[in-house]
Structure 1
Amino acid sequence: MLPNDKRLYELDSLRGLAAVGIVCWHYTNMWHTTPLAGIFAPFYTYGLLLVDFFFVLSGFVLARAYWNDHRRESTARNIIERIARIYPLHFVTLISVIPIQFALQHRIGPLDYLFKYNNAYHFTLNVFLLNNSGLEQGFSFNTPAWSISTEMLVNLFFLLAITFRRRTAIIFMVSAWVLSAYAIAKHGLITNYFTFGINPGIHRTVAGFFIGVALYNAMHSAIDTPRTHARIHDVICITAILAVLVFMAHRSATSITDAAVSFILFPTIIASAIRGGIIRRVLRTPMLVYLGEISYSIYLTHFVLLVATLLLASFITTPLPYNVGIFLIGFLALTVFFSALAHRFIEIPGKRFVMRISTARNLVSEVRDAS
């Protein structure tokens, strides 16, 4: 979407670190253990909040990529580009998890927290990225993909909104955000309550995403300007990160504190990382940047690996040492390894394939129109 010299690599790294935090959250919820708690306690306790960091970051990145005179009116291409980015890996991980869960169900028996809504209806919803649209009865198949569903719906709304004049687009976005902010103020950021008949996951995504869009609009002119007061931004970024980690570790969650972290601290981390000095250089180290590049694969493959590990454990008489730090490190390393493979052999080729098909169809249409 953006040339490499314009890419904000520090944001890639932040996304990658957040993805690892979410892996830890699902790890502890799957095995009910907390190895290396001194390091990973914030992620074990409230790592699910990092999904909201993804939403804020996504709003920022997509506003930068699409809300400009060069891209905003290319609606069809923009939508296809988002589908090409999201769908191939989503579909492959969906198909991959089914035989594992089927075998596991026959090995262990009914596990409602994994299998309750794994049926033809919810498979169809997953295929069309409607698995968290409000049509579902609960989580199904590759559970973390719930946020991919809400992301896609909000992306479509955003890409359609920016085709209007700027003032009109802002009215649409602010209206959507106000409705979602009301729902969050009433029921909390992370809840099961529908408000205005809308899935709470959609409210959560709308709220975070358009905070990210607003952040980009507030600081877009400063992104490419010389960095001043970099040390101050470093201090702000580190302080905000520490505040988030402390909050997550103690899990003093209320509708107000959750929202404050998502709508104040997350944007602060993003803005100060971009304008920082030392923190920006650290986040631009190749290893962290690569972790960010494969973060989408980490997010979608780690649950498949968790379920596969559970299946493996069902064949072994000796319990696996889930509570041992080296086992956790090994699982994280395995997740990164398989995510790197998925990124290289599924995510990137899948995106190219979808874009190539859409380009070929456009050429055929142009030839037909000209004949």
Structure 2
Amino acid sequence: MNTTPRPGLERSRFTELDGMRGLLAVLVMLYHLGLNSQLARWTGGWLQGSRTSGWLQGSQWQLCVDFFFVLSGFVLMHTGRQSHPSVLSFAQRRWWRLAPSLAVCTLAVWALAPQAWPWTTVLANLLLIAPVLGLPLLDSPGWSISYEFVLPVLALWAWPRLPWLARLPTAGALALLLAVQASVMWGLAMGQAWAGSDLLRASVGLLLGAALYRHWQHTPRSPHATRSTLALAACIAMMALAGVAPWAAVLFPTGCAAALWWGAGASGLFSRAPLQWLGRHAYAIYLAHTPVLMAAIDMVDEPATRGVAPKLALVVVTFVLAALLHRMVEAPLMRGAGTR
């Protein structure tokens, strides 16, 4: 059917996935606020990542972004199959979804130290092309946003020009991409430079999500919120362990796929109001926590931001600013652009 799905239908179908996105955004924020250090203290240093010299040492929570890529590929493939947008209309809606909030947070970081950033770097950040050009990012979590914009637009343009892709067996394509992403995760855990490529991580994650949706669409399945929740919990455990047990990173793509497979269409824990609130504000939380942390360090010095109480205050401030950013920037522009 060649019609655009109603926003209400879209939300009801993927409410669990929205809630997952919110929790993952919070984990990214907590990682930047020192989650690894706190876990190291709670576990007597065991979860500090001291048993491996790999890339993931002290950085395993960054795998949340790889989950984001898989989730985005899944949802974007669904949207494309339902609405059949043109490349231009899709690019416009995607731009209005991603660029405004990133611009606000980028300019907030720039305002803290305007002399530190050449105007060309600031402009490239605002145009969502800084990572593609190899330029530094003002709002560091935004590295994924460029690929979330550029790669799906390129994929939509290429899809009708590569008709053989649609004829690939869905199970075979999914298995291949699961193996590829598992290899990338292993490379990250073992500190291999090739696996740290942002372009590689984004491409494989988005393709895996798209392949997962195609197989999900053509396979009899029953949504199961409990299984989905357990799969996500397993993913969180894998991220916590990956710094000391690299094998956990290899299992991470399968955990992501299982969480989405059973979560799509389900209604459970992540459909509850608090997690739905986090889901609605996930993008704003993901972007806003960096300027909040930088401003705090700039105003009171870094040592004053240590400790549980200061970090909780930073979380509260981030939530408040994320709510304002969503209400005043994201929601109006998404309505105007016909997206959500």
Q: Same fold, TM exceeding 0.5?
A: yes
Alpha-carbon distance, 1:183 to partner: 8.2
Deviation track 1:253-275 (CA, whole Å, cap 9, x = no partner) reads 687643430x2111111112236
What corresponds to 1:158 in structure 2?
A: 155
Secondary structure in 2 matching 1:162: helix
1:250 matched to 2:241? The reply is yes
Counterpart CA distance in 1 for 2:243 and 2:183 is 20
Residue 27 of structure 1 pairs with residue 25 of structure 2? no
Query: What SS does structure 1 have at the residue aligned with 2:237?
Result: helix
Is residue 75 of structure 2 the alignment partner of residue 61 of structure 1?
yes
Q: Which residue of 1 aligns with 2:93?
A: 81
Q: How does 1:1-371 map to 2 (within 5 A)?
A: 2-3=5-6, 4-7=8-11, 8-28=14-34, 33-34=37-38, 46-68=60-82, 70-72=83-85, 74-102=86-114, 118-133=117-132, 135-137=133-135, 139-164=136-161, 166-168=163-165, 184=184, 187-188=187-188, 193=193, 200-221=197-218, 227=222, 230=224, 234=226, 236-252=227-243, 257-261=248-252, 263-274=253-264, 280-314=267-301, 320=304, 322-324=306-308, 326-352=309-335, 355=337
Cα distance in 2 for residues equivalent to 1:243 and 1:160:
36
Contact 1:193–1:200, Cα closer than 8 Å, also in 2:
yes
* Alpha-carbon distance change, 6 to 246 in structure 1, aligned in 2, over 3 angstroms: closer
For structure 1, list consecutive stretches of 5 or more residues without a partner in the other structure: 106-114, 357-371
- Looking at structure 1, the residues matched to 190 and 134 of structure 2 have their Cα atoms a distance apart, in angstroms, of 17
Aligned residues: 316
- C-alpha displacement of 1:352: 4.6
Question: What residue in structure 2 maps to residue 364 of structure 1?
Answer: none
Structure 2: distance between partners of 1:295 and 1:36:
26
Does the 8 Å contact 2:178/2:254 carry over to 1? no
1:189 deviation in Å?
A: 7.3
- CA RMSD of superposed structures (Å): 3.7
- Read off the aligned partner of 1:91 and give its amino acid letter: A
Maintained 8 Å contact 2:16/2:265: no
In structure 1, what is the Cα distance between the partners aligned to 2:181 and 2:241? 24
CA distance change for structure 1 residues 208 and 216 in 2, over 3 Å: closer, same or farther?
A: same
Aligned CA distance change for structure 1 residues 91 and 6 (closer, same or farther; 3 Å): closer
Cα distance change on mapping 1:93 and 1:321 into 2, 3 Å: closer
Cα distance, 1:186 vs structure 2: 8.8
Q: What percent of counterpart residues are identical?
A: 23
Question: TM-score if structure 1 supplies the norm length?
Answer: 0.73
Looking at structure 1, the residues matched to 108 and 283 of structure 2 have their Cα atoms a distance apart, in angstroms, of 16
Structure 2 unaligned residues grouped into runs of 5+: 49-57
Query: Take 1:38 and 1:62, find their aligned partners in 2: how far apart are those partners?
Result: 39
Structure 2 length normalisation: TM-score?
0.79
Cα distance between partner residues in 1 of 2:148 and 2:167: 19
Q: Distance in 1 between matches of 2:40 and 2:189?
A: 28
Structure 2 CA distance for partners of 1:36 and 1:258, relative to 1, 3 Å: closer
Paired with 1:206 and 1:15, the residues of 2 have a C-alpha distance of 19
- The offset of 1:75, in angstroms, is 1.8
For residue 361 of structure 1, what is the aligned residue in structure 2? none
